Amino acid sequence: MNALFKALNDPTRREILELLQQRDMTAGEIVDHFTISGPSISHHLDLLKQAGLVSAEKEGQYIYYSLNTTVVDEIMKWFLQFKTKKK
Amino acid sequence: MNALFKALNDPTRREILELLQQRDMTAGEIVDHFTISGPSISHHLDLLKQAGLVSAEKEGQYIYYSLNTTVVDEIMKWFLQFKTKKK
DNA sequence: AAAGTATTTAGATATTTGTCTAAATATATA
DNA sequence: TATATATTTAGACAAATATCTAAATACTTT
């Protein structure tokens, strides 16, 4: 839960998630969407991966990143506890 | 959105939300649930308030804090975009 | 009005975080 | 095998954050 919220607490990382929602992308393609350096994006991708929000698959010299929606279920369940009526 | 995720990115603050889900509480009551100092909790409450997750109401010398669930709807809507099928 | 209780504000400090450049690793191609 | 391309790792640094103690503010009670 901690790694999850930590990963979500950055505009760039949230934007990466939205990019990957549209289609899988290589690290380089993701980098091209931002003005931030490659190493910085790589670091963001690492945090997203640690949180289980994305997964990476090597294909030749490229690494394809894709969204992992199962974790989203988990986090939505956490939020739902606040929507249950209290007396 | 930024203030929201920022507010959620701390275990203490998330625990405060869970406390307030059960019942409204004064700042002092919330402080008693933790080993952290009063001023620190006060700061956490401020961030939660900025995010719109809690609201505060003065009552005599006490300040009652309560959960604000409408913002939870907003954040859940954000998460839902990832559960819509692509392709 | 003075003293006590509840809470916040101010200021300091150690830790975490986002970013960068330079270097390392891995694969592809000439 | 040498060079080019894709990506990550390492190390440095400034900015943000969580925490603390001390002081300020506000209300209540004696």
Pairing of strands B25-26, A62-67: unpaired
Which residue of chain A is at minimal alpha-carbon distance from B5?
A: A9
Q: What is the mean pLDDT of residues B16-34?
A: 98
Quick: pLDDT tens for A31-50.
999 999 999 999 999 999 99
pLDDT at B23 over 90: yes
Q: Which residue stretches of chain A have pLDDT < 50?
A: none
Residue of A8, A72, A82 lying closest to B21 (CB–CB):
A82
Tell me the whole-structure pTM to 2 decimals.
Answer: 0.94
| A14 contacts on B by Cβ (under 8 Å) | 1, 5
Contact A9 B6 (CB under 8 A): yes
SS3 A55: strand
DSSP states of B27-86: HHHHHHTSSS-HHHHHHHHHHHHHTTSEEEEEETTEEEEEE-THHHHHHHHHHHGGGS--
Residue of B17, B18, B76 lying closest to A76 (CB–CB):
B76
